[in-house]
Each structure stands twice: as structure tokens, then as C-alpha cells.
Structure 1
Amino acid sequence: MRNWNEIFQIEDLTRSVQTHRKAPRFMMELYDAVADSNGTLKSMKGLKGNIVRSFEGQSSGSYHFFNLTSFRPDERVIRAEFRWFRHQQPFMGRHHFYKVDLYEVMDSRPKPWRGNFISSRLLPIYTKGWEVFNITQMVTKWILNSGTNNGIVVVTALPAGDWFDSSIQMKGQSGQTNAYLVIYSDDGQKHYQHPPFYTGQNITTSLKLLEPIASSVESTMHNRRSVRALTSTCQRTNLYVDFTKIGWSGWIISPRGYNAYSCAGSCPFPLGEGLRATNHATVRSIMNALKLSQEAGRPCCVPDVLHPISLLYFDDEENVVLKQYDDMVAGSCGCH
């Protein structure tokens, strides 16, 4: 079984990280679209794989470089996007459109004529907003060979061919990041709901051979029923995990906490269907009641269905990550 360090891929979960960086709005909106305030997945729309990473990178004018060393080699890239925010341009006379060209930088000199052409787009001059470019093939190459990662250059030009600086920011917009690299990936871990161990067929009701034994044990346990009635049987109880109290609020963005639930209560003989007992637990219960073996202890009340939750957090490089973690919530409880 993997421990917390392996699950979260962070060496020191007790750290009190405080970052001054804000999560990109589109990552916050993506989280809100796929998960509720408890982290429970509510929609797969917008998700590709089980991990979404946003890299802010380093930008200088039209040049953008993204350090991808935090991307794990055991992950499979599904899609990579270059998200570039275009600002509304100042008055340019009779021009109403301009052209945007994307180039992959081939060496340390970010000049478009020394790069690989990626994509081109014609855009209105007097509007602003995010433009999303598919650069999956290029990013996959960067990850397989980090030496090819020299960044991206955004070149803007008027239809006549005259270049102009599209990175000029309007008043009040200085300091805002206008470019991100977003990678959708899959780490190969299961990201689905576990099937319940309970099959709906309890051995005491499905195997006629054991009916005499069950009847005998039930008679033996007759005098203990009054005691059993005072003890609550196996059931799911609340267990709220507050990330602030744990000390993880510095790096976990959302949710601020979640209900993991817990399983508590006894598993008395006979194990009725309401206790969602496995056949193994039923046989153990009989062996324990008849005192046929010292090793046959009573069945325990444990989770038999586990659900995932989604976390939005800062990784060690302060990149914002949206990831689905399995087996985080007890969906139901049973005797095992």
C-alpha cells in the first residue's frame, strides 16, 4: 500500500509552504466545473486524463519559456495547450485584424526565423481574451528530450506584414501573466470507483449447506442479543478532514477540507445483509461464534466502497495542478 508521500509525490507533507503566486483563473474555473466544494468529482467535462498542470514559466515580451522538469516521466501526455492572453490593441487606423504566429525556439536566440513554425491565427484588433493553441506534439518532444525545450515565440503582425509588439499592456494590467502552458496527462493510476466487495449474496442465505450451522450458532447466541442491541452495528460516520488544521492550507488551494467518512460499529452474528458482509466474513463469524479457532476473530467494520476526490494545489515548483486522487472517501461500510 502506498503511503502519503508516494500518493501526493511530495517529500515533506508537514511543510508549511506559503506562496505569493495566485492560481490562474482558468484553473479555478476548471476545478469548479469538475468538482464540488468537498472535492467530489461531479463532471468529467473538460478533463482529459486525471492530471491537469499549468506552467506559468518565464516570459519576456513575446518570448515564453516553461520549465517542465516537474512533469513525471511515468505520465502520458494527452494534450498540451499554449494559452496566451491577447490584450486589446491601441488604435491602428484602418486595420481591424492582425496575425499571430507561434514558433518553437530552436536555440538560445528567440528569433522566429530560427524557429519551427507551429500555428497562425487571424484576430480582431479591438478585442481581448485567451487564445488556446494545441502544441501537444511539441511538448511531448520536449518531455522526451529536455534539450529541445527552448521556449515559444509569439509574433504579431499586421496583414501588410509589419510587426508590432502585442505584449504592450494596457493601463492597470501590468504584472499580470499573459501566457501559460497547460498539460493534460494520465499517470496510469486507477481513477474510477472501486466495485464493492459485497456481492449481494450472503453465504448464510445462498448456501443451503450452512443453514444447520447458522441455526445452531443463532441458538447459541440467543442470550447475547440483549447485549448486541446496545452496541451500534457497522455504519458510516462523519470524518471531516480540515487541511488548515493539518497544516496543508499553504499548498492545497481547493477544497479547504472534505468529508472522508469513517466506518464504525460492530459486526455481530448473524451477519445480516444490511451489514454488507463478504462470504469470508460470514464464515469467520460462524467460526468465531462457535469458538472453533483462536485465529477466527470477529469481522471488522471497514470501507467496502471508496471514492476519489479532486485536489487543486501548488507543486514544489509552484505550478498549479488539478489531480484526481483515488480511495479518499469511504462510500459505504461493510463487515469484512
Structure 2
Amino acid sequence: PRPRAPPAAARLPASAPLFMLDLYHAMASYDDDGGGRPERDLSRADLVMSFVNMVERDHTLAHQEPYWKEFWFDLTQIPAGEVVTAAEFRIYKVPSAHQVNRTLHVSMLEVVKEQSNRESDLFFLDLQTLRAGNEGWLVLDVTAASDRWLLNHNKDLGLRLYVETEDGHSVDPGLAGLLGHRAPRPRQPFVVTFFRASPSPVRAPRAVRPLKRRLLKKTNELPQPHRLPGIFDDVHGSVGRQVCQRHELYVSFQDLGWLDWVIAPQGYSAYYCEGECSFPLDSCMNATNHAILQSLVHLMKPDAVPKACCAPTKLSATSVLYYDSSNNVILRKHRNMVVKACGCH
């Protein structure tokens, strides 16, 4: 179903992390020319989802050490049948006003299960070391938590962040310069997850081999034009008509009324196939054996059997960046969206 448009307050440019836009441009560039090496895990990803934290909890100066900050994410929109190839937690760090040259250790743990009468069950995910005076996005690997998301069908992801000095003293994450949900919209923390569709157990149909590669008796070979005199007159052909080939087609998302939820692109060149598939079918028509036989039978029984159809023989993917119904920003590689070649079927 078509996602509903996010509310106006969530439609500001900053609501879609710039990271996702960078990923879109990288994936779109890779789709267009297929050259170069795509950044990060794009080469293995069909879908990239970003999640902004819905709930944030602090255990800081008002409490006893250790200090920590928790981030909770709603995972209900994760689709079934997808495999997580990578997952990252991204949080922006500004320079700390205290002891700029001090080394800090930032650790990330998953909240596996909350307990009412004791400390929550935690699972270590990643550790990063940085200077207190550093500024920029801090990236923590949370891929190891993904198995529990999918196996246990968890709807919420809890991540707990600790900051310590080299001598083991706990530091308030806020005083260390790590920004939470009160940060400006372009600098709010989020999780980005890379997915790939699970391999399907259904085998794709095997392509028909070209006739010239088959070692058949001559009596069983398909008829060639010079062997069927009289049936290739102009009355049976497509004189003056265009043979099956690819034609230009630009799909505008604005014309479709989709720009209220599609972020990029504005549209794309989809192309389409059209043209005659009349016997004899030349090699340039990429005809299947079935199409060749169907065309031959059509010559004999034109009222009973139609001509072969002009249809795509090769399709490629295109990437779309959009909002889902929960206002998460999604980058999906939609397969079979662009016609690359046409043929007779």
C-alpha cells in the first residue's frame, strides 16, 4: 500500500538524514553505470532503512555511576524475508568543553531484556576510541544485534551507550559532547540498517538455448526463410512497420502525485518495448524458440494464433528514497524497473 504522507513538521529537509541522501546518490550512480565500487554495504543491499530514536533515557549526574544513555527504536516496519547485512548506530559528537585532549572510550551495548528488580540484561556490540575534542559523526557497529531482531521478532531495539576515560572513570555522554534527541534535526542520532532479500527456493526458469547451439537433425530444425518459398511475401511481413525495439518512456513521480512521499528521484527513464514480431525473426529481435514457432504457426493459422509479442528481455534496477508510513526514511533498490533490451516472446 502507498505510504501516507508525513506531517508537515516532519517534512523539513533535515528530517531525512543527509547520510541517506548520500547513500541514495551512491546507489543511483552505481545503478546507472555499474562501474566503480559502491560505498559501504551498498553492493549487497537491496534495502536501506533509517530509524530515528523514539525514546531516550539518561542515567547521568543525578544518579550514581556508571553514567549511560539509552536509545530506543521502533522496528515494526522491518519487512519479512530480509537478511541484515550490516547495521550502524550514528550519533553526532561536538567537542567536549572538559579536557579536550583526553582519550575517551565509547561502548555500545544492546538492552536484551529489561529487569524490574535488577540491572537489565546487556549484550556488548562495539567499542570506539576518540579524543574528547573531536567533532563529527561517531559510527558504532550494531550488526550483531540483528539476529535477535529477526529471530525473536522484536519490535523495539534498545541501545545503551557508555563513555569512559582511559583510567576507567565514567563520563556523562552529554558532557562528552554526544548529542541526543534534543540536538538540531540534522544531528539527531539514528540507526541505519542494510538488508538483502533472502534467497528464494524457487528456481528461475532456464533460458532457451539458441538454435544454432543445438545439435539436432536437419529434419527437426526450424524452417529458414529460404526453405519456405512463398510464405515470406510482403503480405505476410511487416513492411513499413517498426520491428520490436526499445522506446523512450520517462515516468514522472510528480505526474503520478507521489512527491508527497518520494524524496528522490523526481522520476526516471523506464523505457518500453513495442514493434512487430513477424516471421522471419532476425537475431536482433532476441526471439525465443517458442516465439519462432508461434510466428510460424501464425503464418499458417493467422486467425487462430497471434503473432509473438514484443516484450522486455533484460531489465535493471533503480533506487528510490522515500518515507514509509512511520516516517522512516527508506532507500530501496527496486528490481526490474528499467528496460535494457527488448525481444520477441
TM-score range, shorter chain: 0.7 to 0.9
Instruction: Note closer, same or farther for the CA distance 1:332–1:52 as it changes in structure 2 (3 Å cut).
Output: same
Within the alignment, does 1:99 sit opposite 2:105 as a pair? yes
Deviation at 1:255, TM superposition (A): 1.9
Give, in angstroms, the shift of residue 79 of structure 1. 2.3
Q: SS where residue 132 of structure 1 aligns?
A: strand
CA distance in 1, matches of 2:232, 2:109: 78
Structure-2 residue corresponding to 1:297: 306
**Which residue of 2 is the match for residue 267 of structure 1?**
277
CA distance in 2, matches of 1:89, 1:177: 16
* Equivalent position to 2:266, from 240, 256, 266: 256
Q: Which letter maps to 1:281?
A: A
Deviations 1:131-174 (A, max 9, x none): 2222223232134335694612222233341423235659x963
Aligned twin of 1:219: 230
1:331/1:189 CA distance change after superposition, 3 Å: farther
Aligned mate of 1:229, from 239, 251, 262 = 239
* Number of equivalent positions: 316
Q: 2:255 aligns with which of 235, 239, 245?
A: 245
Aligned to 2:136: 129
Partner of 2:2: 12
Asked if 1:331 is matched to 2:345, the reply is: no
Q: Deviation of residue 302 (structure 1)?
A: 0.8
Unmatched segments (≥5 aa) in structure 1: 1-10
**Quick check: 1:49 aligned with 2:63?**
no
Segments of structure 2 that go 5 or more residues without pairing to the other structure are 59-68
Task: Tell me the equivalent position of 2:63.
Answer: none
Alignment correspondent of 1:187: 197
Which residue of the partner structure matches residue 25 of structure 1?
18
Q: What is the Cα deviation at residue 25 of structure 1? A: 1.4
Distance 2:53 2:233 in 1: 70
**C-alpha distance in structure 1 between counterparts of 2:229 and 2:171, whole Å:** 88
The answer on 1:84 being equivalent to 2:95 is no
Q: Is 1:34 aligned to 2:27, yes or no?
A: yes
**Deviation sequence 1:300-327 (CA, Å, 0-9, x none):** 1111111122222211111122222221
- Residue 20 of structure 1 aligns with an amino acid whose one-letter code is R
Q: Report the counterpart of residue 313 of structure 1 in structure 2.
A: 322
Residue of structure 2 aligned with 1:58, choices 48, 54, 57: 54
Distance of 2:331 and 2:223 partners within structure 1 = 55
CA apart distance, 1:256: 1.7
Q: Distance in 2 between matches of 1:32 and 1:150?
A: 28
Partner AA of 2:289 in structure 1 = N
Larger helix proportion of the pair? 1
**3-state SS, counterpart of residue 235 of structure 2:** helix
SS in 2 for 1:246: coil
The Cα offsets for residues 85-135 of structure 1, whole Å up to 9 and x where unpaired, read as: 222211427x522222323334288x9x64525233321011112222222
| 8 Å contact kept, 1:53–1:183 | yes
Structure 1 45/217 Cα, relative in aligned 2: closer, same or farther at 3 Å?
A: farther
1:70 aligns with 2:61: no
The aligned runs of 1:167-182 (5 Å cut-off) are 174-182=184-192
What are the Cα deviations for residues 265-289 of structure 1, in whole angstroms up to 9, with x where unaligned? 1112211112111111111111111
- Assess if the C-alpha contact under 8 Å between 2:244 and 2:276 holds in 1: yes
1:163-222 alpha-carbon deviations (Å, 9 max, x no partner): 23235659x9634443211222222267xxx9995755479xx87435767446452332
Q: In 2, distance between residues paired with 1:212 and 1:67? A: 63
The 5-angstrom pairing of residues 203-214 of structure 1 reads 208-209=218-219, 210=221, 214=225
Runs of 4+ aligned structure 1 residues displaced above 6 Å come to 37-40
Structure 2 distance, partners of 1:173, 1:330, is 44
Question: Matched residues in 2 for 1:134 and 1:150: separation?
Answer: 14
2: distance between equivalents of 1:50 and 1:12?
Answer: 19
SS of aligned partner of 1:52: strand
Answer whether contact 2:95 2:177 (CA < 8 A) is retained.
no
The AA in structure 2 aligned to 1:327 is N
